[in-house]
Amino acid sequence: MLYQKTQQQLLLIEHELKRIGCWSDTAPSSQALMSTMPFACDLMPLEQWLQFIFIPKMQQLIIAKQPLPNKISIAPMAEHVWASAMDKALLITQINELDILLNE
């Protein structure tokens, strides 16, 4: 059930990224994808980290029925990065709901 709910929440996040125009057709450089900084914040914007690192990794875990992270805190970063971006309010809410789901 957790896998299904997580997959649904990831789809909501993906849909919202697309709706607000933050979904990219171009992947970041291989160097950016290798970043070791939290959220790859040194080499890509948060929306690209979500699209190219976080969502694919979570989907891999779901498909393989691997344990999902149970201590996750993406919403505070999203709130910080997008504090003045009113168009991202729903996206932040959806990320927060994912945090809550996985931390239960």
Whole-model pTM: value is 0.93
90: CB partners within 8 A, 6+ apart = 16
Q: What is the pLDDT of residue 12?
A: 98
Give the pLDDT band (50/70/90) at residue 104.
confident
- How confident is the model over 40-81, as pLDDT tens digits? 999 999 999 999 999 999 999 999 999 999 999 999 999 999
Domain that holds residue 98: 2-103
* Structure tokens that stand for 49 in this block: 């980290």
Q: What is the pLDDT of residue 68?
A: 97
Q: Yes or no: say if 2 and 10 are a contact pair by the CB < 8 Å rule.
A: no
| CA–CA gap between residue 56 and residue 52 (Å, rounded) | 6
Domain count, the chain: 1
We report the CATH number of the domain holding residue 58 as 1.20.1440.40
Dihedral sign (CA 5, 8, 14, 19): negative
